[in-house]
């Protein structure tokens, strides 16, 4: 079974997945972060044109690689936030009891 090249061109429906499945290093961080995994999986499971099984396998490999990279970005952001909170806790200034409550703006 053959596939249409129109699906895999730069602005094609499955372009990011094809690029992630074949040449993952060429994807930018913004392309990975803005990708929507749920819609991508729907496009692979029900493509507009019939696809061969090896082609679908390559597209699914792209889904897994994108999801893995998104998880790595999330973990990095979480560890960075945790580090910043710990640094702020160490350098926290103790306030006198009179300054512990916020003033009312009413």
In a domain? residue 101: no
Query: CA-CA distances (angstroms) from residue 99 to 32, 40, 56, 85, 102?
Result: 46, 53, 63, 22, 7
- For the chain, 106 residues long, give each residue's pLDDT as a single digit of tens: 556 666 667 777 788 888 888 888 888 888 888 888 898 888 888 887 888 888 889 889 999 999 999 999 999 999 999 999 888 887 766 777 777 777 777 6
30 domain residue, yes or no: yes
Judge whether 10 lies within some domain.
yes
Domain that holds residue 76: 5-91
End-to-end Cα, the chain, rounded Å: 71
Domain-located, residue 22: yes
Within a domain: 102? no
Residue 72 falls inside a structural domain:
yes
Report the number of distinct structural domains present in the chain.
Answer: 1
């Amino acid at each position: 079974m053959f596939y249409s090249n129109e699906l895999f061109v730069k602005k094609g429906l499955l372009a990011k997945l094809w690029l992630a499945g074949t040449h993952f290093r060429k994807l930018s961080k913004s392309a990975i972060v803005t990708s929507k995994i749920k819609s991508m999986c729907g496009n692979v499971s029900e493509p507009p044109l019939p696809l061969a099984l090896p082609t679908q396998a390559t597209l699914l490999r792209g889904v897994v690689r994108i999801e893995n990279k998104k998880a790595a970005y999330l973990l990095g952001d979480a560890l960075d936030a945790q580090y910043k909170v710990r640094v702020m806790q160490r350098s926290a200034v103790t306030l006198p009891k009179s300054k512990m409550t916020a003033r009312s703006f009413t």
